[in-house]
C-alpha cells in the first residue's frame, strides 16, 4: 500500500506564486505550498470547484468536515470567496467529539461560529451528532442521519471529505493500532478510548472515506514532517491510518506546506497552478 518513490529527490520550484511543486504519489496528488497562508485560498477554491460540479450534476453538494486546524482555515477562506452559493450544500462531520455543542472541543460548535454562521448555512443543512446520547447510541443515531441523507447508497458517497492528520498518523478518530481500523460493516463507529482527548467520539469508517468522490487532506507545519514521510514515502513501518485512505473511484489530494513537506522525497514533478486543482 505504501507509495513507491521512483525518481527520488527531484524537487522543482515552480513559478506559480502559490504552488512550489506537485507530485503524483501512488494516486495521491500531493501539492506543496510555500506556507499555510498560501494553502488556505487554494483549498477554498478546490472546495468551490467541486461544489460547482456537484451542484450542476446532482443538484446538491455534500461535504464532510474534520476538526482541528481545518476549522479556522476554512472559516477564514471560504466565506470570502465571491459568489459562493451554499444553498445546495449539505455538511456532515468526518468525526466528532462527544461533548456539548458549547464545549470548546465540539467540532460542530466551532464550525457553527467560524463557518456556518458566516455562510448562512442553516442547521437544516448540517448533519450533526446528538451529544446527549451515549457514545454507542450517538454513533448509531449519526449513522442513521447519514443513511437518510444518502438513501440510494449503502455507503454514503460524499462529494468532498476534508481530512486532517495528527502527528501520530491518525485521521478522523481512526488511531494507529485501534480495532476500529478493521471496521468494515458500520459507516460510523463509536470510540470511547481515544488516545487524544476527549476520549469519547464518533467517526466515519474507512468504507465511507474510501467511497468519496474527492478526499482532501490538509497537513501543515514541521510537526507533521516525520509522519508525512511515513505516510507518503512509505517504508517498513506500519501503514498508518491516514495512509489507508485511498478512495476506490475518487480523487485524493494532499495539500501540504513546505515545513510539513521538508522530509519528503517527491518522485514526480508537474507544473500547475492552484486555480487548476
Ligand X SMILES: O=C1O[C@H](COP(=O)(O)O)[C@@H](O)[C@H](O)[C@H]1O
Cis peptide before 140 (omega within 30 of 0): no
Task: Give 26's Cβ-side CA count (13 Å radius).
Answer: 16
The closest of 238, 181, 178 to 204, measured between CA atoms, is 181
Restricting to residues 80-109, which ones interact with ligand X according to CB under 6 A? 95
- Pairing mode, strands 214-219 and 28-33: unpaired
Q: Which of 22, 62, 173, 230 binds ligand X (CB under 6 A)?
A: 173
Residues across the chain: 277
Give bridge partners of residue 22 from the DSSP assignment: 31, 270
Selected range binding ligand X among 8-16, 170-178, 207-215, 233-241, rule: CB under 6 A = 170-178
Using rule CB under 6 A, residue 205 touches ligand X: no
Residue closer to ligand X, measured from CB, 22 or 171: 171
Nearer to ligand X, 54 or 209 (CB): 209
* Residue 66 CB, nearest approach to ligand X (Å): 4
**Closest CB to ligand X among 6 and 221?**
221
Instruction: Report the residue from 196, 226, 244, 270 that binds ligand X according to the rule CB under 6 A.
Output: 196
* Contacts (CB under 6 A) with ligand X, residues 40-69: 66-69
Sole binder of ligand X in the list 109, 164, 190, 250 (CB under 6 A): 164
HSE of 127 in the Cβ direction (CA atoms, 13 Å)?
Answer: 28
Is 226 a binding residue for ligand X by CB under 6 A? The answer is: no
For residue 191, what is its C-alpha cell?
Answer: 470510540
Is residue 166 near ligand X by the rule CB under 6 A? yes
Query: Nearest to ligand X by Cβ — which residue?
Result: 68
Q: Is 91 helix (H, G, I), strand (E, B) or coil?
A: strand
Nearer to ligand X, 48 or 218 (CB): 218
Instruction: Answer yes or no: are the C-beta atoms of 140 and 187 closer than 8 Å.
Output: no
Q: Is the CB of residue 195 less than 8 Å from the CB of residue 174?
A: no
- Name the site residues for ligand X (rule: CB under 6 A): 66-70, 95, 163-166, 171-173, 196
Amino acid at each position: 500500500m505504501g507509495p513507491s518513490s521512483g525518481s527520488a529527490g527531484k524537487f522543482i520550484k515552480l513559478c506559480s506564486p502559490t504552488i512550489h511543486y506537485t507530485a503524483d504519489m501512488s494516486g495521491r496528488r500531493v501539492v506543496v505550498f510555500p506556507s499555510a497562508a498560501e494553502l488556505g485560498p487554494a483549498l477554498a477554491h478546490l472546495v468551490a470547484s467541486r461544489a460547482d460540479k456537484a451542484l450542476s450534476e446532482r443538484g446538491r453538494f455534500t461535504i464532510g468536515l474534520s476538526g482541528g486546524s481545518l476549522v479556522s482555515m476554512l472559516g477564514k477562506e471560504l466565506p470570502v470567496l465571491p459568489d459562493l452559493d451554499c444553498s445546495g450544500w449539505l455538511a456532515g462531520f468526518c468525526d466528532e467529539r462527544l461533548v456539548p455543542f458549547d464545549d470548546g472541543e465540539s467540532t460542530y460548535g466551532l464550525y457553527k461560529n467560524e463557518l456556518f454562521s458566516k455562510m448562512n448555512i442553516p442547521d437544516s443543512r448540517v448533519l450533526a451528532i446528538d451529544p446527549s446520547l451515549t457514545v454507542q447510541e450517538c454513533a448509531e443515531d449519526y449513522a442513521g442521519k447519514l443513511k437518510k441523507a444518502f438513501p440510494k447508497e449503502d455507503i454514503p458517497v460524499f462529494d468532498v471529505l476534508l481530512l486532517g492528520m495528527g502527528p501520530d498518523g491518525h485521521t478522523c478518530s481512526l488511531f494507529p493500532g485501534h480495532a476500529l481500523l478493521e471496521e468494515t460493516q458500520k459507516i460510523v463507529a463509536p470510540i470511547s478510548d481515544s488516545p487524544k482527548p476527549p476520549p469519547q467520539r464518533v467517526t466515519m469508517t474507512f468504507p465511507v472515506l474510501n467511497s468519496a468522490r474527492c478526499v482532501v487532506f490538509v497537513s501543515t507545519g514541521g510537526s507533521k514532517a516525520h509522519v508525512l514521510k511515513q505516510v507518503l514515502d512509505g517504508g517498513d513501518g506500519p501503514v498508518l491510518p491516514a495512509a489507508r485512505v485511498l478512495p476506490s473511484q475518487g480523487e485524493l489530494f494532499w495539500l501540504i506546506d513546505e515545513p510539513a513537506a521538508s522530509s519528503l522525497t517527491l518522485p514526480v514533478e508537474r507544473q500547475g497552478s492552484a486555480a487548476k486543482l
